[in-house]
Chains A and B, each alone.
Chain A
Amino acid sequence: MNESSRPMNEMELLRELAQQTPLPAPAELAAARARLVAAIATDPATYATAVAQVTTDQPAPSPGQPAEPPRPPAPAPVQSAARFMYGGAISSAVLLIVALPFAGDVKGNVLGHRLTPTPLIITLVILAGLAVIGLWLWMARVTTQGRNWARILSTVLFGLATLELLSALEAIGTNGVAQAVITALTWLSGLGAVWMLWRPASSAFFKSARAARSRAPSQISGP
C-alpha cells in the first residue's frame, strides 16, 4: 500500500496536530526556573551544604590535630526525624512530670507488688525519665551526623516504646488517661522519626556518611 495514500488514524492525527505546538523559548521558562531556584535556595539541605562548604573552606588543621572528616549534610527526612526526636524529648519531659505523682506505683514492673513511694524510688523515676530525655536528644544528634548504628538503635528503641505504649494503655485505669495519651504522643514521635530515618534519601545519607568516614583515614595519612 502506498504510504502517502494510507488514511491517518486518530493517533496519527493527534500527533500531527501536536507538532503545531513548538517547544518554548528559553525566556518562557525563565520565570519557572527562577521559582525553582528560589525554592532550592530555601531548602534546608542547601543551607547544610553551604555550612559544610564553609567548614571545608577552613584552613587545614595543624599537624598535631586530627582532621575532622567532611560530613555530608543531613537531608530533609533526617532533619525531620531529628525534629520528631526533639518532640519525643519534650513529651517525655511532660510524661515525667505527669508520672511523678504515681512514682510509687511500680507494682509488677519491678517487684511484683506495690511499693510505698520513698525518696529513693522517686529519685530513680526522675533519673530514668531524664535518661530517656537524654536518649532522645542524643539520638537526634547522632542520626544527623549520619551514624547508621544510631538509626538501627532508634528503631530498636521504638520497638521497646511500642511495648511501653501497650502497658500504658493497660494501666489507664491506674495511672490516668493523661499519662496514656502522653505516652501515645511520645510513641507517635518515635514512629515519625523511624519512618523518616528509613526513607530512601535518609538511607543514601547514611551510606554516603559512612563512605566519607571510611575515606577519612587515607586523607589524613595522605601527603
Chain B
Amino acid sequence: MRRRRGSAAADDDAAVIESSWREPERFAVLFDRHAPHIHRYLARRADRQVAGDLVAETFLAAFAKRDRYDLGYADARPWLYGIATNLVGQHRRDQTRQYRITQAAPAEPEVPGHAEKVAADVTAQAMRTLLAGALATLSAGDRDVLLLIAWEQLTYQEVARALAIPVGTVQSRLHRARAKVRQVLAGTEAGATYEELTKNE
C-alpha cells in the first residue's frame, strides 16, 4: 500500500529504512521483522540450506540499495520478496549452468527435460513431487507470480511492485500459470492423486 510522504508511522518499514540512511544499524530491525518469512519463502522455492545463504544475500542487497527505496511505500515486503525472487532465479540459472558443465565431458548425454528437473529439484524440497512437477512446467515469470500470490499472500499490486511489472501482466501470468498447473495435473498419472487431494474430504 502506498502512503503519502511525511505520514509515516514511527516504526513502519519506510521509517526504519529512512532512519537507516543515517543510522545503518537500524536496518537490522527490518531483518528481524521480515527475515523469517523471506527465509520460509526461499526454503519453499529452493531448499533450507540454500535459503540460509539466499536470505543473507537478500538483506545484503537490500541494505546496499536502501538509499533507493521509495519511502512512499510503508511496507517493504514486496521490495524484499522482489530481491529474493531475483536471487532464486539467479540461483536456478547457476544450478542449470553447473549441471550443463558437469554433463559436458566427455560426451553430453541426452537428458530429457533436465531444465525441468533442475526446477523441480529446487522446489521439491518444500513441496510434494506432484505439485513440483506441475510448477516446473511453468515459465519462471509465471511461477514467480503464482507462488508470491499463493504462498506469500501478496496482492496483485504488491507482486507488480516486487517484480517490477504492470498489474495487468500479473493477472495474465497468474491466469496462465493456474491454467497450466490444472492442465498438467489433470493430464498426468498423478491426476488421480490430484483429484483425491482436491476433494478435501
Give chain A's interface residues, CB within 8 Å of chain B: 4-15, 17-18, 20-24, 28-29, 31-33, 35-37, 39-40, 43, 45-46, 49, 72-73, 75-77, 199-202, 204-205, 208
Contacts and interface: CB of A to CB of B under 8 A. Distances in A.
Nearest to A18: B151
Contacts of B21: 45, 75, 201, 204-205
B146 interface: yes
Given A36-B27, A45-B22, A75-B22, A200 B200 contact: no
28 contacts: A4-B200, A5-B199, A7-B198, A7-B199, A8-B197, A8-B199, A11-B178, A14-B150, A14-B151, A15-B150, A17-B127, A18-B127, A18-B151, A21-B44, A22-B40, A24-B43, A24-B51, A32-B31, A32-B53, A32-B55, A35-B60, A36-B63, A39-B63, A200-B70, A200-B71, A204-B18, A205-B22, A208-B22
A8 to B, nearest CB: 5
B185 interface: yes
A205 B19 CA distance: 10
A24 B44 CA distance: 12
B67 interface: yes
Given A14-B147, A200-B68, A36 B197 contact: no
Nearest to A42: B24
A23 B67 CA distance: 29
A76 B21 CA distance: 8
B128 interface: yes
A8 B178 CA distance: 13
A7 B39 CA distance: 31
A49 B20 CA distance: 11
B178 A40 contact: no
Interface in B53-92: 53, 55-56, 59-60, 63-64, 66-71
Interface string B19-33: 001111101100110
A49 B158 CA distance: 34
A77 B64 CA distance: 11
A23 B200 contact: no
A75 B40 contact: no
A49 B25 CA distance: 10
A75 B131 CA distance: 46
Contact of A8 (B67, B126, B198): B198
Contacts of B39: 23-24, 28-29, 32
Interface of B: 18, 21-25, 27-28, 31-32, 35-37, 39-40, 43-44, 48, 51-53, 55-56, 59-60, 63-64, 66-71, 126-128, 131, 134, 146-147, 149-151, 178, 181-182, 185, 194, 197-201
B22 A73 contact: yes
A37 B18 CA distance: 18
Contacts of B32: 33
SS class, residues of chain B in contact with chain A: helix
A36 B126 contact: no
Nearest to B67: A201
B147 to A, nearest CB: 7
Most buried by B among A9, A24, A77, A208: A24
B200 A6 contact: yes
A37 B28 contact: yes
Contacts of A72: 22
Given A23-B40, A29-B35, A32-B59, A7 B200 contact: yes
Nearest to B71: A200
